[in-house]
Structure formats: structure tokens, C-alpha cells
Amino acid sequence: MIHPFDDLPLHQSSAPLLHVDSDSAGLYDRYFFNGFSVDGGLMFAVALGVYPNRQVMDAAFSVVVDGVQHNCRSSRRCSTDRTNTTVGSISVEVLEPMLAHRVVVRDHHGISADLTMRAVSPVIEEPTFVRRVEGRPVMDYTRITQFGEWSGWIEIDGTRVELADEGVIVGCRDRSWGVRGGTRGLPGPATVPQFHWTWAPTLFDDICTHLAVNDDAEGRSWHRSGAVTERFAAGEGNLDRVLDATRVHRPDDMVNDIIWRSGTRWAASMTAQIRPWRAEPIDVRYEPFARFQMSGLGYLHPDWDHGSWHGDLDETRDATVLAEVNPLDPTMIHVQHLCRVTAGERSGIGVLEQLVLGPHAPSGFASVLDGAT
């Protein structure tokens, strides 16, 4: 199956570009974006994923205003051309690779948006995530993370929010691809589910910091990475600058400690120390003050989970009242907290994402969904 992109010198094997290299149902390719005002009065996020072996492309847009999270989800059949990144009323456009992206929502049951993100940092390539259970690949994927500033507008049931009226709207994006959930649905003995995930992209006036941690049930990290990069003004970047790996300072070591809210698996605070190579350690403290439920984008959603089949095209909208969420509802434990962040004399804002399912000895979690004491 040939695609016009096959005319570009991008091949990494003898196969045409649309031919996949794995028959895993967990094979995927995804965009994720978030954006937020400094005071937390506006938060939104976008996801678009392709699942070649499931013949599915899905997308979601969620926005939090006045304590209510409005969620739009779309899914369509995608059996051939994966370069058409429009799913019903939601689309993601790459305006300039690694520099500018556009998200458009065209009247999704009363919600519309036209948003552009421009890079303010180099690209952070996180180390490849590889996780095997008894030799079978559960995860084998690559992720990049990058920071940006947003412009544009969002309209909810006739009420328009101009981002320029909310101050500087910042955020981050990630691109990931490979295999996730590679053994899901395969036969084998029943096991207690366990996943411990922390992801913390952070913006200060002059730098951006990042950390990502996956632990097993005993607290041993099977993935642990961090980075410190420069921050520049939106529009000042160019391709050489954002792809210059020497501008991304990797730590020799990185440690983090989470204090959990009693009765939940949500963080009350987190401290981290990032030790860049040949540089002074950076001590960072996170204090959550606003929350975004990742189920709005399909993560752990009981009906609209990623890659699920909804026919040739289907769309849905619902809303979550954040004050009414049960923190131990298994569909709601995956969150991104907006945090006030300090690092010495620096103050900034960042996201602290947590998905903690199953045992984790350092946190005192012993079963699938027991809360912190």
C-alpha cells in the first residue's frame, strides 16, 4: 500500500510507510496537548491517536471552566490513510513540524475551538519506554515532550473565551508512538493490575524542567528520566534550535517524593531534585491547586477508551463536575494537577500527572485501589 509520503526519503525498512512493523493490538501513534492559564481559571487538553491494527483513529477535546470539565470525543474507522488527522469535528494540524500546531473543533455538540500552539523550548526526547512481563512486550514506545504558548479561542454553548483575555496561556505537548498495552486481551493467568506513573513538565520564566517516572510494585523504577531546557519566546524558535540536543541538559540523577492526599491516590505535593550533569542540582516543589480528569480524553474511560471501536464515525459529549468526582473511582484516578512550582528563587507553573494503580510499597499502597492513610 503506497502513500504519497513514500516519495520522501523517510523509509526505515524495505516496507512502504503505511505498513506496520507489529501485529500488536497495542500499536499506536498519538498527539497530546494541554494548555492552562496561570491562575488555573482555564484548562484544556487534546488527544488524537491512531491504532493501525484496530483500524481506529480517535480524538478528544476537554476544557475546564468554572469547575466543570466539558468532554468531546470522536472516533472513526481508519484503515488506510493515517495522515488525515481529522476525526469528525476534531482535527490536529502540523503547521510547522516541531514549531507550530493547530487544533480545531468544529461545533462538537455545542463546543468549538480554534487554537494554535507555538514552541517555546527545544524538543525533549525521553528515553524509550520498554516494559516486558515474562518476556512479553507490554510497552515499547518513544515519547517527545515540548513546551509552548497558545493563541486562539474556545466557545462553549455560545459563550466564547478568547485566550488573549486570560493572560498568557502556556502548556506542553507530547508525541508518542510504538506499543502500549501490548498484552491486553491475551490469554494468561490473572494478575493484580499495577502501574505507577508520574509525569511533570514545568515552565519557569527562563527554563523548563521535566521528569517522568515509572515504578514497579516494590518501588523500583523501570523508567526514570529528567531534563532541563532553555525557554524562549514563542515565535523565536527555528528547527535547528528546537532539535539541538545540546540545549537539553540531562541529569546524572533524579529523585522525587510524593505526599499523597489522605484517602486518595492524588498528590498533595511533590518534591524533586534534578541533578544536571556538571551543574548545580535543581530542587523543585509542586503544590497542586487545580485538576484535570484524564478520562475526558479517553484514558481509563469505560466506554471511550483509546482505540475502542465505535464504527465508521461516532461522537459524544459529556461533562464532569470536578467537585463531585470520587478520587478512588477507577475511571478517575488518572489526573493532571496544575501546580504552583518553586525552585530556589524561581517560581513557575507546571503539570503533575499521576496514574497510580495497584500496589506501590513506598507509598503504602497494598491493593488495587486503597487510598493513602
Task: Delimit the domains of the chain by residue range.
Answer: 26-183+192-363
User: 159 — phi, psi (to 5°)?
Assistant: -100, 120
- Considering only CA atoms, which of 268, 335, 325 is closest in space to residue 300? 335
| pLDDT by 10-residue block (mean), the chain, 373 residues | 83 85 89 96 97 96 97 94 94 97 98 98 94 83 96 97 95 95 67 91 97 96 94 95 94 92 97 88 96 97 96 98 97 98 97 97 96 94
pTM summary value? 0.95
- Considering only CA atoms, which of 343, 130, 143 is closest in space to residue 228? 343
Classify domain 26-183+192-363 at the CATH topology level: AttH-like fold (2.40.370)
pLDDT at 187: 67
pLDDT at 21: 81
358-to-69, 193, 196, 282 alpha-carbon distances in Å: 26, 6, 8, 31
Query: Three-state SS for 47?
Result: strand
pLDDT at 132: 85
- Considering only CA atoms, which of 274, 149, 260 is closest in space to residue 211? 274
DSSP code for 372: B
Exposed (0-12), middle (13-18) or buried (19+): which is 193, by Cβ within 10 Å?
exposed
Q: Are 218 and 361 in contact (CB under 8 A)?
A: yes
pLDDT at 22: 85
pLDDT at 184: 64
CA dist 277 and 256 (Å) reads 17
